[in-house]
Copies of this chain bind each other. A is one copy, B any other.
Amino acid sequence: MNRAIGVIDSGVGGLTVAYELMRQLPNEKLIYVGDTLRCPYGPRPEEQVVQYTLEMVQFLMKQNIKMVVVACNTATAFTIERLKKTLPIPVIGVIKPGARAAINATKNKDIGVIGTIGTVKSHAYVNALKKINQSLQVTTLACPKFVPLVESGITNGDRALSVIKDTLQPLVNTNIDTLVLGCTHYPLLGDLIQQVMGEEVNIISSSEETARETSMILEMQGILQKEEQAITHKFYTTGDVVHFEKLSDIIFGQTKNHIAIDQAVLEEIVL
């Protein structure tokens, strides 16, 4: 079934989810909307996040998508249950896939979760983990400096390493054996985070895990695209196309030739 998968994000963080979808599901076409104009969603009130997310979903639904991937942690925390109830197509968020992968990976039941201030405050990961297993130890840590690093294109080198070392200090040499990257920007800092935490800590990328569970949903619903096809993925930004393109270069590298980037104007939804 060659209808596209719709991916929505507050900006460019969701591009790591898009990258993983392209890697793990190479037959699938994507249509992505990043609301860079109104990014970040983290500090916004819930009602606003819901409104903006629904506007992106509406934009994609007009393009006959077969599934929605909410590739933003804040948007997932505030809208996933509502979208699951109201949309006629399958919906997946980024939080539960990361939680389930962490539960699989941990041996000592001591799990760390890092994310934006908004995500940590929402307790979404703690709730998702504890709903499955009440005896898990979960330590969360907000890493407000990580997104600005990635957004400025600094994903390796001494400066990035030093910021990551300082920020993760409270988690280093603790008992946690598994660390969830609870923000879709963080996989771009994955190697440095692994280096700081030590090789023995399992690093879970919610982007990778969301792509994997998307694969499962497509198969379960019988809407997996099984044949190879010539694909141009469509990427829309509500903000500056040049800035969006620059950041997508970091994430997509050489696979970028299958991508068309364009501006999106979202229709307002009054809640």
Residues of A whose CB lies within 8 Å of any CB of B are 20, 24-27, 96-97, 100-101, 103-104, 131-135, 208-209, 211-213, 215-217, 219-220, 224, 226, 228
Please measure, in the bound complex, the distance between the C-alpha atom of A199 and the C-alpha atom of B97, giving whole angstroms. Answer: 26
- Chain B residue with the shortest CB-CB distance to A128: B219
Closest chain-B Cβ to A93's Cβ sits at a distance in Å of 11
* Given known contacts A133-B26, A135-B26, A104 and B216 CB-to-CB distance under 8 angstroms: no
- Chain B residue with the shortest CB-CB distance to A90: B220
Whether A216 and B26, one on each chain, are in contact in the complex, defined by CB atoms closer than 8 angstroms, is: no
Whether B100 and A132, one on each chain, are in contact in the complex, defined by CB atoms closer than 8 angstroms, is: no
Please measure, in the bound complex, the distance between the C-alpha atom of A9 and the C-alpha atom of B108, giving whole angstroms. Answer: 28
Whether A132 and B212, one on each chain, are in contact in the complex, defined by CB atoms closer than 8 angstroms, is: no
Q: Would you list 13 pairs from A and B whose C-beta atoms are within 8 A, ordered by A residue?
A: A24-B100, A24-B103, A27-B132, A27-B133, A27-B134, A96-B219, A100-B212, A100-B216, A104-B211, A104-B212, A132-B224, A134-B228, A213-B216
Closest chain-B Cβ to A104's Cβ sits at a distance in Å of 4
Whether B104 and A209, one on each chain, are in contact in the complex, defined by CB atoms closer than 8 angstroms, is: yes
Given contacts A27-B134, A103-B215, 6 further A-B contacts (CB under 8 A): A25-B133, A100-B212, A100-B215, A103-B212, A132-B226, A216-B216
Please measure, in the bound complex, the distance between the C-alpha atom of A228 and the C-alpha atom of B130, giving whole angstroms. Answer: 11
- Chain B residue with the shortest CB-CB distance to A217: B220
Closest chain-B Cβ to A74's Cβ sits at a distance in Å of 20
Whether A131 and B226, one on each chain, are in contact in the complex, defined by CB atoms closer than 8 angstroms, is: yes
Closest chain-B Cβ to A213's Cβ sits at a distance in Å of 6
Please measure, in the bound complex, the distance between the C-alpha atom of A178 and the C-alpha atom of B217, giving whole angstroms. Answer: 23
Q: Cβ of A220: which chain B residues have Cβ within 8 Å of it? A: 217
